């Protein structure tokens, strides 16, 4: 599933990032890399952006950027 499909407050592990090198470099600078756990904390009203928690930081992503990030929900 993509990061856009992740429910609020569910923790998921990033499995793949499919985008151009410029965007991938930007995501990496925020700590958004394969194997990292993330959690969706907010979505805009029109779902154009989402806010995620990566480690102890919060990052806002465009819908199109989050769609390129494939995640798998962590089992508790």
For 7-16, the pLDDT digits (tens) are: 999 999 999 9
Full-model pTM: 0.90
Give the up-direction half-sphere exposure of residue 22: CA atoms within 13 A in the CB hemisphere: 0
Residue among 27, 8, 25 nearest 69 (CA): 27
Residue 43 is predicted with a pLDDT of 92
Please say whether the structural domain 3-73 has been given the CATH code 2.60.40.3080: no
pLDDT 10s digits, 16-58: 999 999 999 999 999 999 999 999 999 998 879 999 999 999 9
């Amino acid at each position: 599933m993509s990061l856009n499909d992740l429910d609020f407050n569910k923790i998921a592990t990033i499995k793949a990032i499919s985008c151009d090198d410029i965007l991938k470099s930007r995501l990496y600078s925020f700590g958004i890399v394969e194997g990292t756990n993330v959690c969706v904390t907010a979505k805009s009203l029109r779902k154009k952006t989402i806010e995620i928690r990566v480690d102890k930081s919060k990052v806002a992503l465009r819908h199109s950027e989050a769609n390129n990030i494939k995640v798998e929900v962590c089992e508790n």
